Homo-oligomer: A and B are copies of this chain.
Amino acid sequence: MPDLTAPEGFKIAAAAAGIRKSGLDLGLLYSDRPATTAAVFTRNAFPAAPILVTRQHLKVSGNTSRAVLVNAGNANAVTGEAGMNAARQCAAELAKHLGCKPSDVFISSTGVIGRPLPVEKITAAIPSLVREMNPGGTDSFSRAIMTTDTVPKVATSRADGVRMLGFAKGSGMIHPNMATMLSYILTDAKIEFAALDKALRYAVDRSFHSMTVDGDTSTNDTVAVLANGASGVSPSPERFTAQLTEVCQTLAKAIARDGEGATKFVELTIEGAPSDEAAREIGRTIALSPLVKTAIYGCDPNWGRLICAVGNSGIPLSGEEVELFIDDVPLINGDLKVASEKLKSKEVKIRVSLHSGSGKATVWTCDLTEEYIHINADYTT
């Protein structure tokens, strides 16, 4: 059983604030000292109010935080100036109770778009959150940030005296409104902002940005890492980056496995591409193709669809030479009956070999099923 307590110096809490009909819907991550904070936010043109406010806070605080406050049930997105004020009020109230500055608060929301954030419900729940925070709140927090997720997502790691504890929410598909992807990684490593930021961007490219369910990104997507230095250990940037990447990959794979209506988890390996970036782009194009995803669902080793998707990626290749494998069964001129049997597994591995360079990438996705349509068509606003 992995150690799910918070890394040194962190405390965790969750509450049922009544933002949604029932259950935990408000979470708090707290550091007893300023934590260096790096974050990656949505590329959507309409970032939600909490993202805009948090960006300002990180600027003011010089990329440090003392707390993360997350609510589920309301995205506080497309809410204009009122939404900005609502996010600021929540942060200020939490700062008052923690004895820190509002700019020390990192704030996130997930849920329905375009409805006013119920600020009073959140501020009313803050005193008990602060009172009850403790190093063992991991499970409650991981549940408080769930929306369409069917399972909570937590990853933990210890290496050379550095601990990491990561949370994520997201099921890729969006019900009722959004597939907001949120992730927070707490670590007691001692690390400068520049190195932390570089490590996070590297890890996110190889995890959350390499995981795709339906291609829709939300107004609220956020990944943040808080390093409070409480372990006193300063890992080398290489070691820290490797550790962070592994934690992020564990969380990203958990999201792909939890894709709405998915019956299969798919790992796509692209090799022989002009560059790693090109390999990732080809992998993403395949992972987003409805035709590839439905073929996998139907256990159909339809390699023409894979070839088409490779060709649709926009990446120039040096030739037509492509090899395709399911596990180690070749598809082109291969035994398609054996390939079809391999596709019946819950975990499918597809390898695309391009002979156009030495670029490699791994991308995770899931199949596309009638159940996805059913879930997403039947929600009524």
Q: Which residues A152-202 have CB closer than 8 A to chain B?
A: 173-174, 176-179
By DSSP majority rule, is chain A's interface helix, strand, loop, or mixed? Answer: loop
Residues on the B chain within 8 Å of A290, using CB = 173, 214-216, 290, 368, 372, 376
A45 touches B317 (CB 8 A): yes
A144 within 8 A of B: no
CB distance from A111 to the nearest CB of B (A): 10
A41 within 8 A of B: no
The residue on B at minimum CB distance from A309 is: B216
A297 within 8 A of B: yes
Question: Residue among A288, A304, A370 with the most chain B CB within 10 A?
Answer: A304
CB distance from A320 to the nearest CB of B (A): 6
A218 within 8 A of B: yes
A216 touches B46 (CB 8 A): no
A369 within 8 A of B: yes
CB distance from A134 to the nearest CB of B (A): 35
Enumerate 8 A-B pairs (CB-CB under 8 Å) in ascending A order.
A78-B322, A216-B291, A217-B308, A294-B373, A298-B377, A300-B378, A370-B374, A373-B373
In order of increasing CB-CB distance, the 10 nearest A-B pairs are: A298-B377, A113-B304, A44-B311, A294-B376, A45-B311, A370-B370, A46-B311, A177-B304, A294-B377, A297-B377
Residues on the B chain within 8 Å of A316, using CB = 45
| Complex CA–CA separation, A214 to B216 (angstroms) | 14
A354-378 interface mask toward B, CB cutoff 8 Å, 1 = contact, 0 = none?
A: 0000000000000011101110111
| Complex CA–CA separation, A290 to B373 (angstroms) | 9
A262-293 interface mask toward B, CB cutoff 8 Å, 1 = contact, 0 = none?
A: 00000000000000000000000000111100
A114 within 8 A of B: yes
Q: Which residues A295-333 have CB closer than 8 A to chain B?
A: 295, 297-298, 300-305, 307-317, 320, 322, 332
Q: Which residues A335-355 have CB closer than 8 A to chain B?
A: 336, 340
B373 touches A368 (CB 8 A): yes
A297 touches B380 (CB 8 A): no
B291 touches A45 (CB 8 A): no
CB distance from A311 to the nearest CB of B (A): 4
Residues on the B chain within 8 Å of A78, using CB = 304, 307, 320, 322, 332
Residues on the B chain within 8 Å of A312, using CB = 43-45, 215-217
